[in-house]
Amino acid sequence: MHIPEIIPKSCMSPSLEIFSSIPTVYQYFLLWSPIFNKTGELNKTDHQNSAPPAYNCETPQKQARKIKRQKKEKPITATDVPQWKWTKSECQEWYRCIFVKYLGHSDGIAEYVAKEISGWGPSIFSRNEKDWTRLLGEGRGPAMYNLIYKVRRKRGAIPWGISTDECMLANIH
C-alpha cells in the first residue's frame, strides 16, 4: 500500500461540506464549535456563568419507554386484572368500572365511591375481606375481596416472590 509523503492542504482542513455528508459528526461539531475557538482554547461566554440544567432522574430511555407505554395504553375496564404497579388514579378508575359493571351503579355514584378508596396498586391486594366489607358494605365487600383474590396470580397482579397470603394479610394502604 502506497502512502503519499505530501498531504494536500484540502485534506488537512476539512470544510463543512464534508461534515454535511456525515450527520452525526457534523452534529457534534456544531455542539462544540461555539465553546472552543479556532486555536482550541475555551471561549469565555455565558455558558460558564449559567447554572447547570435541572436534574432529571429519568434517562432519555426511561422517558421514551414511558411515552411508548402511554401511547399503547388502552382504557382500564372491569375485566382487566388489577396491576401491582398501578397508580392511585388507575386503581380508582378500575374500581369505578367494577362498580358500574358488576354493582350496577351509575357512573357518577361509582366515581364518587371509587375516589373515596385510597391507595395504589399493592393496596388493592393488601386489603382483607373485613376491610372491603367496611368500605363497601355486606355482600359487596366480600364479593370485591373474592374478585381480587381470584386474579391475584395473573400477570401483573402480585409479583413473583411475594407470598399472596402475606400480601392479602399485610394491610398496607
Q: Write the pLDDT tens digit of every residue in 122-147.
A: 999 989 999 999 999 998 999 999 99
Helices assigned H by DSSP within the chain: 9-12, 16-21, 23-32, 60-72, 88-101, 107-116, 121-126, 129-136, 140-150, 164-170
Q: Kindly tell me if the per-residue pLDDT of 32 is higher than 50.
A: no
* Joined grid coordinates for residue 52: 447547570
Q: Is the pTM of this model over 0.75?
A: no
Q: Which residue has the higher pLDDT, 52 or 98?
A: 98
The number of residues in the chain equals 173
Q: Which residue type is seen at 112?
A: Y
For 26, the domain range is 9-40
Per-residue pLDDT band at 116 (split at 50, 70, 90): very high
pLDDT at 16 > cutoff 60: no
Beta-bridge partners for 42: 36
Q: What's the domain count of the chain?
A: 2
On whether residue 32 sits in a domain, the answer given is yes
48 within domain boundaries: no
**69 in a structural domain:** no
Whether 35 and 95 map to the same domain: the answer is no
